[in-house]
Amino acid sequence: MSAAENAPVHSRISEEALNRIFRDARTYRVWRPERVPGAALRELYELLELGPTSGNSLPGRFVFLVSEEAKARLLPAMDPGNVEKTRTAPVTVIVAYDMQFIDQAREAFKNPNAFSGLVDKPALIEETAFRNGTLQGGYLILAARALGLDCGPMSGFNAEKVNREFFPDGRWKANFICNLGYGDGTNMPPRPPRFAFDDACKVL
Ligand SMILES: Cc1cc2nc3c(=O)[nH]c(=O)nc-3n(C[C@H](O)[C@H](O)[C@H](O)COP(=O)(O)O)c2cc1C
């Protein structure tokens, strides 16, 4: 085999990109005042939606709160420690999942038999929606960082209150909430430690 045939299909992305998306990326809790353009939210969605989900189920749903009125509907559901960071963030996303993702996928992709193994199995539907919707929330964080946005993900909120306020018909359910914008890096605490490879991984 020639050297060219042995070459990997893709080269690594740049160190700068790796630093931005992973090594230097932090959870932000204080925000600079610059707004996030509406076009950036669209671009963010178009990138995150390309991440893989089982059977292309795409159960993740995303509610971008940008107006003061929309924020005011969310704040009473946030834990006290998460109120101010959410109030001041330029954008707050409710990362949700759709319990009727099967219907939407069947209709959109013109495949009336898609996910037939899940039909009438609510526990399996919920597991599939939650697993893949959570992955899509992770893709959102990485895509945001790739676009130069900073994130502040949060699970400190009352999901029942959020669901009642934003999803009263019960079809979508809140998974986690993520502030987005341009983080203020002054007075950042040091990054919390991570586990070493041998403490969290096995190679079998
Ligand atoms: C799903 C999820 C929920 C989180 N919930 C909160 C939260 O409610 N409030 C908060 O201040 N930070 C929250 N965080 C941020 C984590 O505490 C933070 O990512 C972790 O300590 C690592 O810090 P780093 O991202 O700066 O490296 C959450 C992060 C994730 C991914």
CA 66 to chain centre: 16
* Confidence (pLDDT) at 95: 99
* Residue 89: per-residue pLDDT: 98
Structure tokens at 75: 């704040």
**Which ligand 1 atom sits closest to the C-alpha of 141?**
31
Cα distance between residue 44 and residue 145, in whole Å: 10
Q: Residue 64: which of 26, 91, 100, 96 has the closest Cα? A: 91
Q: What percent of the chain shows pLDDT beyond 90?
A: 96
Task: Give the pLDDT confidence score for residue 3 in this predicted structure.
Answer: 58
Q: How far apart are CA 173 and CA 126, in angstroms?
A: 10
- Per the structure block, which two tokens stand in for 64? 């971008």
Shortest-distance Cα residue to atom 21 of ligand 1: 192
- The rounded Å distance from CA 154 to ligand 1 centre is 6
Per-chain mean pLDDT for the chain: 96
> Which residue in 61, 36, 53, 67 sits closest to 144, CA to CA?
36
Query: What pLDDT shows up at residue 7?
Result: 75
pLDDT reading at 159 higher than 90: yes
Q: Where are the domains of the chain?
A: 36-183
Global confidence as pTM: 0.96
Tell me: the pLDDT tens digits for 11-56?
999 999 999 999 999 999 999 999 999 999 999 999 999 999 999 9
Question: Looking at the domain 36-183, which fold is it?
Answer: NADH Oxidase (3.40.109)
Residue 5 reports pLDDT greater than 80:
no
Closest residue (by CA) to atom 16 of ligand 1? 27
Q: How far is the CA of 27 from the centre of ligand 1 (A)?
A: 6
Calculate mean pLDDT across residues 176-201: 97
Orientation of helix 38-48 relative to helix 122-146, angle to 10°: 120
